[in-house]
Structure 1
Amino acid sequence: MNLLDYMPSRRRFLIGSAMAGGAAMVAGCARGAGGGPGGSGDPIAAYRTPYKYGQLVLEGSHREGAFDQKAVDCPFVFYHDGRFNLLYTGWDGTGYQTGRAVSDDLVNWTRAGIMLARDPNDPVTRYNISCASILRENELYSPGRLIRVDGRYLAAWHAYPSPGYEQGAAVIGLAWSDDLVNWERTDPILRAEDGADWERGGLYKPYIVKDGDTYLLYYNAKTTGNPWKEQTGLATSKDLKTWTRYPGNPIIRNGEPGVSGDSWFASDPVVYTHQGEWSLFYFGRAKDGKCREYLALGDDPLHFDKVAEPLIDIGAPGSIDEHFAHKPSLVYHDGALYHFYTAVSGKYPDDLRGITVARSKPW
């Protein structure tokens, strides 16, 4: 499919006005009626997960020298070999590496070790490598079963070039595996210096999707300078080697300064389909410095309308997500939609960063 084949299929019924330089905001629209399983008159019922678990399901291991000693971040949940799997980024004070955990119930997780480790001999991944996604089924109401490409699993990662917390302009690459344990990394496929101004500061979390014969790689990126801004765009490919940035990037832009919850960051996209509708979950960061989970909906994988309200808001003072509720990953299990995210509480640099979950039915 050609990029030009993706065209909005109908005029959307919007409430509210277009964001400055960004996607339209919707407070409710003539889409998604009936919601998910069970039905509802709420136009975004299929996407709501209001019931927070209230505790971390995974946090830093606190083991001296471990790759995830200090914190865990960036969940990606999928189903494989009869169990749920959780990819996560571990932070040891030097850089990022990617770990995996397994669970039967999506709440109790057992660490399964490093999945992608940094390589001291590789100038790209000598300090960091964070695997943000593996190609999986697109359907929102699914357990997220993996999809093989020519018999192998396909993952997308990003890596920062310098030691420290997100230091330098990160690049994006792919990796291949037969068993989810041993991975063969490609050279970077996207670099910040090849992009537009909105992404020259560095590339962040890549999320890979396949639609027909086209691969879609969603990612967020930042501007240069400090403070920077983050927005979300995508690149496409037919062969996983030649990638073309979408000319309409960024597809999720910062909202109105001082007003919108994503006026500073519109980041960490994950994308699903449900009943013919495309959903893009992301987090926004606003003037108050807090991070919240947001949602945008579309008729195709390129054009999205933002939902005005936060999908998951920060918690009360003293709660595990009092500062940040961000970085989504969703799966469906046992009659409920589970929305995993990174929660942050406490005071930097001694804050607590870990992974928690909310779902569509009470606990």
Structure 2
Amino acid sequence: MIVRFVLMMGVLMGASIGLADEPVFPSELTAFVPSGQGPVFTARGEGHWDVKIRERGFVLKEGPVWHMWFTGYDGTRPGLKMLGYASSRDGVTWARHKQNPIYKAHWVEDMMVVKQGAVYFMFAEGRDDVSHLLVSIDGVGWTRCGPLDVRLTNGKKIPDGPYGTPTGYYENGTWYLFYERRDAGIWLATSTNMRTWTNTSDQPVLKPGPGLYDRDLVALNQVFKHKGRYYASYHGAAKGEETPTLWSSGLAVSDDLKRWTKYPGNPLRPRKENKSSGVFVHDGARFVFYTMHGAVHRHLPVTPKR
């Protein structure tokens, strides 16, 4: 028993030391440059269903195929937000699906996708910034499950009002849901059945500020694990500084999904570029960083100097 205990402690200490040796914010997640002179994907414009594309879309790579889901609409604020799909073999050149929009029965925007087992789970905003869940077996045909039932820590429903930009993450039998309320902060709720979600705290796990780039508004786009730590891609903005408001992409890190530390070098791209709704995608050799709002821009990691 003593020998087994000593061996176990050695393994745990070795893992802790290994994690401590890794930089908290490695350069492969913080230093990116545009891969070209312009976006790799844009709205088709007047005369098409996607006159404009809006807010967060999502990119997911499976084997040789790159998937992209995006929201198209007629360019007006009340216009129905519809779901589009495109695919690629290199993450640069994208082919729109011939049946686009692939879902238009209900309002769908600000979406992200988690593939768990054989099922694609889409967390998206519906009308009035209410978080919804949709499911699919092929990423193209989607079934709406309805609004997410989110509860306070005491089991009561969260107060009425918007709860949007839902971001899902799955680990060890538990689903984690990050959501914002009027972009004033990011809350975390969990579920084991995806029917009822309960806040881990009734206070935000990530708040705006103190930097100008996210001084007043924040929303989370994606959570992923890298080298033993959790990372969150999020975006933020300051009210009243410019018209229109400039949104920027940021990165945060956590060891438990509940306590987050922002990257001191945020934003990941200059504020003036107005690039937000960032998504990290590993292509098998490196992370590629996409920003999705308004047009899809692709960024590659900076090659270290030798």
Decide: shared fold, TM above 0.5: yes
Cross-structure match for 1:360: 301
Cross-structure match for 2:3: none
Question: 2:84 is aligned with what amino acid?
Answer: G
3-state SS of paired residue (1:261): helix
- Conserved 8 A contact 2:121-2:135: yes
- Conserved 8 A contact 1:98-1:131: no
Equivalent-residue separation in structure 2 for 1:281 and 1:242 (angstroms): 25
Cross-structure match for 1:247: 201
Aligned pairs (5 A) from 1:269-308:
269-287=221-239, 288=241, 289-308=245-264
Aligned-residue identity in percent: 19
Aligned pairs (5 A) from 1:257-276:
259-276=211-228
Cross-structure match for 1:133: 112
**Shift of residue 81 of structure 1?**
6.2
Question: 2:56 is aligned with what amino acid?
Answer: C
Matched, 1:217 2:217: no
Residue in structure 2 matching 1:64, options 38, 47, 60: 47
Q: Which runs of 5+ in 1 are unaligned?
A: 1-30, 36-41, 120-124, 136-145, 161-168, 223-228, 344-352
Aligned pairs (5 A) from 1:1-363:
33-35=21-23, 43-53=25-35, 54-66=37-49, 68-80=50-62, 82-93=64-75, 94-112=79-97, 113-114=99-100, 116-119=102-105, 125=106, 128-130=107-109, 132-135=111-114, 146-148=115-117, 151-160=118-127, 169-190=128-149, 194-195=157-158, 201-222=161-182, 229-256=183-210, 259-287=211-239, 288=241, 289-314=245-270, 321=273, 324-333=274-283, 335-342=285-292, 353-361=294-302
- Conserved 8 A contact 1:337-1:360: yes
Equivalent-residue separation in structure 2 for 1:263 and 1:301 (angstroms): 22
Equivalent-residue separation in structure 1 for 2:147 and 2:102 (angstroms): 15
Cross-structure match for 1:138: none
**Shift of residue 332 of structure 1?**
1.3
Equivalent-residue separation in structure 2 for 1:43 and 1:32 (angstroms): 12
Please say which of residues 274-283 and 71-80 is displaced more in the overlay: 71-80
Question: 1:216 is aligned with what amino acid?
Answer: Y
Please say which of residues 43-52 and 307-316 is displaced more in the overlay: 307-316
**Shift of residue 309 of structure 1?**
2.3
Equivalent-residue separation in structure 2 for 1:118 and 1:203 (angstroms): 21
- Conserved 8 A contact 2:269-2:275: yes
Equivalent-residue separation in structure 1 for 2:57 and 2:134 (angstroms): 18
**Shift of residue 303 of structure 1?**
1.2
Equivalent-residue separation in structure 1 for 2:101 and 2:260 (angstroms): 33
Distance 1:265 1:315, change over 3 A: closer
Equivalent-residue separation in structure 1 for 2:284 and 2:190 (angstroms): 34
Deviations 1:201-259 (A, max 9, x none): 4122211111111101112221xxxxxx5321122100111111221531111124xx5
Equivalent-residue separation in structure 1 for 2:296 and 2:169 (angstroms): 23
Deviations 1:277-335 (A, max 9, x none): 1111101102533211111111111111112322422376xxxx3xx111011111253
- Conserved 8 A contact 1:84-1:106: yes
3-state SS of paired residue (2:204): coil
- Conserved 8 A contact 1:234-1:245: yes
Equivalent-residue separation in structure 2 for 1:33 and 1:111 (angstroms): 44
Runs of 4+ with deviation above 3 angstroms: 31-35, 113-116, 190-194
**Shift of residue 131 of structure 1?**
6.1
**Shift of residue 71 of structure 1?**
2.9
- Conserved 8 A contact 2:61-2:282: no
Higher helix share: 2
Distance 1:111 1:249, change over 3 A: farther
3-state SS of paired residue (2:41): coil
Equivalent-residue separation in structure 1 for 2:46 and 2:277 (angstroms): 24
Q: Which runs of 5+ in 2 are unaligned?
A: 1-18
Distance 1:115 1:238, change over 3 A: farther
- Conserved 8 A contact 1:131-1:155: no
**RMSD between superposed Cα atoms in Å:** 2.7
**Shift of residue 267 of structure 1?**
1.1
